[in-house]
Amino acid sequence: MSRPYVIDELISAKSIAARIEALAREIKTKFRGTDKLVVVGLLRGSFVFIADLVRELDLPVEVDFLEASSYGNSTESSREVRILKDLRGEIGGRDVLVVEDIVDTGHTLKHVISLLNSREPARLACCALLDKPSRREVDVKADWIGFEIPDEFVVGYGIDFAQRNRNLPFIGTVRFTDTQDET
């Protein structure tokens, strides 16, 4: 049985929208003049973010998706990242923007960047909505970050806890309400 929990709002829907407008302005500046920007959403957590972000980008865009899954265990610092769903389109010689929900340990983003770079895009940049720098295990950095957050488990705005809460319009932290201490 799952433990009872409540969600405390961390970042409001209004703050997210304002931040996305600002991110889009910077991204447009970098990619102004591009033929067609391939915006790659990492499934599943980025699906709400990418939907709002592309609507703020008045550039010619193509949207594609990649699904990666990372397997780790507490005894090993290295994690294996597997590609569960690859891109439909080619990115060789194209401008690419990778859109991620959260950079946590960094293994997923590092693996995806290296995979996509091996396909020789013209330019590749990455935008992550959230960053938890205190959790980083590998050296990787997104070009744009929406919000830096502490080491808390978050949900909402596309991000889940055991496949729940993706449809919340804001980002919140999970707080367990039973007597156990650990989250």
Residues forming contacts to ligand IMP in the complex (CB under 6 A) are 45, 70, 100-109, 153-154, 159
Task: Check if 101 is active-site.
Answer: no
Q: Which is nearer to ligand IMP, 27 or 128 (CB)?
A: 128
Whether a cis peptide bond, with omega within 30° of 0, leads into 94 is no
CA pair distance 83, 114, nearest whole angstrom: 12
- Nearest distance, CB of residue 29 and ligand IMP, angstroms: 26
User: Encoding tokens for residue 173?
Assistant: 């932290």
Cβ-based neighbour number of residue 158 at 10 Å:
24
- Nearest distance, CB of residue 36 and ligand IMP, angstroms: 26
CA pair distance 71, 10, nearest whole angstrom: 27
- Nearest distance, CB of residue 108 and ligand IMP, angstroms: 3
- Nearest distance, CB of residue 122 and ligand IMP, angstroms: 25
Q: Looking at 95, 101, 104, 131, which residue is catalytic?
A: 104
Sign of the CA dihedral with 116 first, then 121, 123, and 129 last? negative
Q: Which is nearer to ligand IMP, 20 or 68 (CB)?
A: 68
User: Encoding tokens for residue 18?
Assistant: 């304002």
Note the residue count of the chain.
Answer: 183
> CA geometry: angle at 77 spanning 155 and 86, to 5°?
60
Q: Which is nearer to ligand IMP, 153 or 170 (CB)?
A: 153
Q: Which is nearer to ligand IMP, 41 or 121 (CB)?
A: 41
